[in-house]
């Protein structure tokens, strides 16, 4: 399995051709025994081949090329592609007009030379952390695939595509954990940036307040490179900060409650490895997390803003919604204008209070998800699915509410159930968090 950084190096060195990489991606996606038919909703096979041939010809002639010219990439189904209806993993929008232009994020990756190989499956309208899609089928987590476990959502297809080697990286979104939950459940790296850093224009919204656009890949450096492209750069990567002496606040209470045994064991083992590398670990409790729970009890920003967007379709195309998504949307209609104003105020003071408590740390540490990937068969009952969904989102959603960059790194032993280790940085401190995460990655992974 090539990482994105390896792919870039091999292309630039002439060790592999872009057409070769495209054909490899298409072959893995089309493999009858694989998850490609569930991980992708659209595959741009012929366009990808044409673009690859043009890049190979340009490289052979010695013409200057952008840094990732010829590297395959997948994008979530909620990003606009010019000339296509943006479905967002649903049939509700089938009658909407096609997009007039690519989403800004898609335009940025094309500018850097990436070949968009296809659009990934996702939780319908990105509204859920499970990754289940009853309309287009659910791609399976690589773990215990014979028994069928969820991939995490909402960027489900993107995570599976990277984990299975269909593409070296994928473009996703994260509103409450949608890059990091599937990364944790599929054993890869997922990053949520500060929400305002990457343009969201042309990405179908879930919550305009909390939405963010982020990468999924196999390493921290790969995510950092793609993030640099998304903010207008060319894949620049800062060097890793030395692990020795970094001060990490280990969150205690709320985020470490009721962890499944494999999660608790892998997380604690990762903390011990960090300590052995000279990382200064200090436990910290955040009492304001209880206030966060109270403030978001009626659905929070996601519920209010998603309901406002979907009201007209709930009235005219209700039958096309996934029942799980429809129920959550309709329940969210109970928030009043005063509830929303209270939520805005609560977010402001909770964010300030948490900032005051944590400013002495280089980053915060917490488990990405408190459970290993649940079996799909266990989620057929909607009430059970709601409970598991809330549990999956519990830790990751904090990063969105506080608007802090957050990254999930695998910390489980090879062959065991996937577990994510999450690092949280300061608002707009995204690039510093990448440098910290690169310095800690080997210890977190146990390599």
Known active-site residue 156: no
Closest CA to 425 of 305, 288, 235, 247: 247
Environment class of residue 264 by beta-carbon count within 10 Å: exposed (0-12), middle (13-18) or buried (19+)?
Answer: middle
d(C-alpha 56, C-alpha 247), whole Å: 46
Give every CB contact of residue 355 below 8 A, 6+ residues apart in sequence.
Answer: 426, 427
Residue 415: other Cβ atoms inside 10 A: 6
Give every CB contact of residue 218 below 8 A, 6+ residues apart in sequence.
Answer: 1, 3, 4, 162, 168, 169, 188, 189
Point out the catalytic residue in the list 178, 195, 332, 408: 178
Known active-site residue 195: no
CA 388 to chain centre: 18
d(C-alpha 257, C-alpha 384), whole Å: 19
Do 169 and 120 contact (CB within 8 A), yes or no?
Answer: no
Looking only at the bridges linking them, the beta strands covering 115-120 and 40-43 are antiparallel
Q: Calculate the alpha carbon distances from 331 to 4, 131, 176, 266, 305 in Å.
A: 41, 20, 18, 36, 12
Q: Calculate the alpha carbon distances from 190 to 33, 80, 179, 231, 437 in Å.
A: 26, 21, 5, 17, 12
Question: What are the backbone dihedrals phi and psi of residue 134, each rounded to the nearest 5 degrees, phi first?
Answer: -80, -15
Q: Calculate the alpha carbon distances from 241 to 87, 400, 411, 431, 441 in Å.
A: 41, 25, 19, 11, 11
Known active-site residue 276: no
Point out the catalytic residue in the list 18, 25, 76, 207: 76
Closest CA to 358 of 284, 293, 429, 287: 284
d(C-alpha 88, C-alpha 155), whole Å: 11
Point out the catalytic residue in the list 18, 154, 332, 408: 154
d(C-alpha 444, C-alpha 85), whole Å: 41
Catalytic residues: 76, 154, 178
């Amino acid at each position: 399995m090539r990482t994105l950084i390896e792919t870039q190096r091999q292309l630039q060195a002439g060790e592999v051709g872009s057409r070769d990489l495209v054909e490899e991606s298409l072959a893995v996606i089309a493999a009858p025994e694989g998850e490609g038919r569930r991980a992708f909703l659209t595959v741009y096979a012929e366009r990808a081949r044409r673009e690859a041939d043009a890049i190979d010809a340009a490289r052979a002639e010695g013409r200057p090329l952008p840094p990732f010219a010829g590297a395959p990439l997948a994008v979530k189904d909620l990003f606009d592609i010019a000339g296509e209806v943006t479905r967002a993993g649903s049939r509700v929008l089938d009658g909407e007009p096609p997009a007039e232009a690519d989403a800004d994020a898609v335009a940025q990756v094309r500018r850097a030379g990436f070949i968009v190989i296809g659009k990934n499956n996702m939780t319908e309208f990105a509204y859920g952390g499970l990754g289940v899609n009853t309309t287009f089928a659910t791609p399976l987590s690589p773990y215990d695939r014979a028994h069928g476990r969820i991939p995490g959502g909402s960027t489900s297809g993107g995570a599976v595509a990277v984990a299975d080697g269909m593409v070296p990286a994928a473009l996703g979104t994260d509103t409450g954990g949608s890059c990091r939950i599937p990364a944790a459940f599929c054993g890869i790296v997922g990053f949520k940036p500060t929400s305002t850093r990457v343009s969201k224009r042309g990405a179908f919204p879930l919550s305009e307040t909390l939405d963010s656009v982020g990468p999924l890949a196999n390493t921290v450096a790969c995510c950092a490179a793609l993030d640099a492209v998304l903010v207008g750069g060319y894949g620049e990567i800062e060097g890793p900060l030395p692990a020795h002496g970094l001060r990490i606040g280990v969150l205690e209470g709320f985020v470490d409650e009721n962890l499944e045994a494999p999660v608790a064991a892998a997380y604690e083992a990762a903390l011990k490895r960090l300590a052995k590398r000279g990382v200064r670990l200090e436990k910290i409790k955040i009492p304001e997390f209880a206030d966060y729970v109270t403030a978001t009890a009626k659905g929070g920003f996601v519920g209010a803003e998603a309901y406002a967007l979907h009201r007209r379709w709930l009235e005219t195309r209700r039958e096309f919604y996934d029942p799980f998504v429809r129920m959550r949307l309709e329940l969210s209609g109970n928030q009043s204008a005063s509830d929303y104003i209270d939520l805005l105020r609560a977010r402001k003071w909770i964010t300030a209070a948490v900032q005051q408590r944590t400013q002495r740390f280089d980053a915060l540490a917490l488990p990405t998800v408190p459970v290993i990937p649940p079996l799909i068969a266990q989620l057929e009952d909607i009430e059970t699915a709601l409970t598991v969904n809330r549990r999956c989102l519990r830790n990751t959603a904090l990063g969105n509410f506080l608007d802090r960059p957050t990254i999930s790194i695998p910390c489980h032993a090879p062959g065991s159930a996937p577990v994510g280790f999450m690092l949280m940085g300061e608002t707009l401190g995204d690039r510093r968090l990448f440098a910290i995460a690169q310095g800690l990655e080997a210890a977190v992974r146990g390599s």
